Structures are given as structure tokens and as C-alpha cells.
Amino acid sequence: MRVGIKKFSVLPGFGISMGFSALYLSLIVLIPLCTLFIATAGLSLGEFMQIVTSPRVVASFRLSFGASLIAALVNSVFGLLLAWVLERYSFPGRRILDGMVDIPFALPTAVAGIALTAVYAANGWIGRYLEVLGIKAAFSPLGVVIALTFIGLPFVVRTVQPVLKDLDFEIEEAAATLGADRWKTFSMVILPHLIPAVITGFALAFSRALGEYGSVVFISGNMPMKTEIVPLLIITRLEQYDTKGAAAIAAVMLAASFVLLLIINLLQWRSRYYHAVR
């Protein structure tokens, strides 16, 4: 005779847990986001389109999304490399280097912006050498990319590290035994295991960069049509008491971010499904 075993859960039942979770999510996320769209209800469709398609707003959208995409792609490559070094090699100062990865998490973004501006300005430690090469880092779109790369790096590294740590060395040894060289071993054996984590890190770095303000506002120079990001434009509209205009821009930013993150999550799901099937 089979005797059923009652499952024990430390937390309350599903109904209570789900209720508190839904309440918390609604108070913190859903209700504030809904008020954003409600704030734009006073605008007609023509007024809404006139605001979000004005040249200054379009230029800000182009800079924010373009710089965030470039920064996330750069972090995906070099974040993977840094995670590999931290997990696969032992060297003096490894723990210090590993701890430095989290500095963008703990450092106030305004402090990061001031530090990056001082380093990459025309008379800064790095900026002076870039100026000789004809490259202007601070107060240019390149400065925006640098700031967004700085704040997004930890997301990729910390997402990839646990996967690398759990990856068994035996699969690499088996690939080498079967005659695969280093590049084939990495691209055909190791990388497929890392792709879902890299995509996750990319999505986190990208979404973080879209909403970044403090570290960018100093190094960008805030020049309309050139280095003005969307968060700064929203703040400018609010300072001018144009609440509806700021809400309209924010609503477009929110909708576009949601669509892009949905696409990234679908790509992540497909890569995991493909890896599981293989």
C-alpha cells in the first residue's frame, strides 16, 4: 500500500503567497507604470505624435538606444572574457580584481560620472592621449557609451560566472581527446552552454543603460541634438512643468524597452531550448 507524503512548505500556501506577491508587485511596479500612461491621456493622438516625433526627442531616442546597445554588446564580449579569467585562472590579486567588478553597483552614479569625466576630458589622464589621436571622448556620444559600459559590466560578469563555475572540465577534455582544437572546443562545446547567460547579462546591461542618468549627465555635456539622452530630456520637460510631454516621452521609452526585452527573452528561451534539444 502506497502512503502519500504531505509536502511541507516553510512559506504559507499558494493563495496567500501569491496574493502578497501580486500586491507587492502592483504597489511597486504596475500601479506606478499605469499612472504613466494615464498622465498621457489628456493628450490627443496628434499632440502625442508631435511630442515624440520632434527632432530633439528623436535624436535623444537614437542616442539612448544606440549607445545602450553598443555598450551592452561591448560588455557581452569583454564581460565574458573577464568572467573567464576570474573563474579559470588563479593569480595574485584575483580576489581584489573580482571585488572591483562590483564597484559600479556600490558607487553613486554621480560620482562615477564625475570620475569618468575627469579621466576622459581633454586634459584627463586618458583623454589627453585620445585628443592627440583626434578622438574626443568626453562631451561626445563616445562618452555616453563609455559611461554606459562602465555601469553595465557587472551584470554580464556576474551572470556568466556561475555558469562557468558549474561547467565541467571533462567536456573540454573529451573535445580535446576527439581532436578538437582550442577554437572548436570553445565555439562548439563551451560557448553553447554560455550563450543563455550571456544573453541574460546583455539584457540586464542594456535595460540598465537605458535608464541611466547620473553617470551620463556629466560626461555627455548635455548638448541637444548631439549628446542629450532621454532621461535628461524628461527631467528638462519636468523642470519646465511640461508633465504631459515628459510622460509621453517616458511612455514611448517604456513601451520600446518592454518590446526589446521581450525579444531578448524570446531569444534567450530559444537558445536554452535549442541547447536542451541538442
Buried b (16+ CB within 10 A) or exposed e, 197-209: bbbbbbbbbbbbb
- pTM of the predicted model as reported, rounded to 2 decimal places: 0.84
pLDDT tens across 187-205, in order? 777 788 888 889 889 988 9
pLDDT tens across 33-79, in order? 888 778 787 788 888 899 899 999 999 999 999 999 999 999 999 99
pLDDT tens across 138-154, in order? 889 999 999 999 999 99
pLDDT tens across 121-177, in order? 888 889 889 888 888 888 899 999 999 999 999 999 999 998 888 877 677 667 667
Of 71, 81, 95, the residue nearest 190 (C-alpha): 81
Q: Is 186 helix (H, G, I), strand (E, B) or coil?
A: helix
Q: Which CATH superfamily is domain 44-277 in?
A: MetI-like (1.10.3720.10)
Q: pLDDT at position 59, please? A: 93
Write the DSSP assignment of 62-95 as a string of letters.
HHHHHHHHHHHHHHHHHHHHHHHHHHH---TTHH
Segment among 1-10, 22-31, 144-153, 245-254 with least mean pLDDT = 1-10
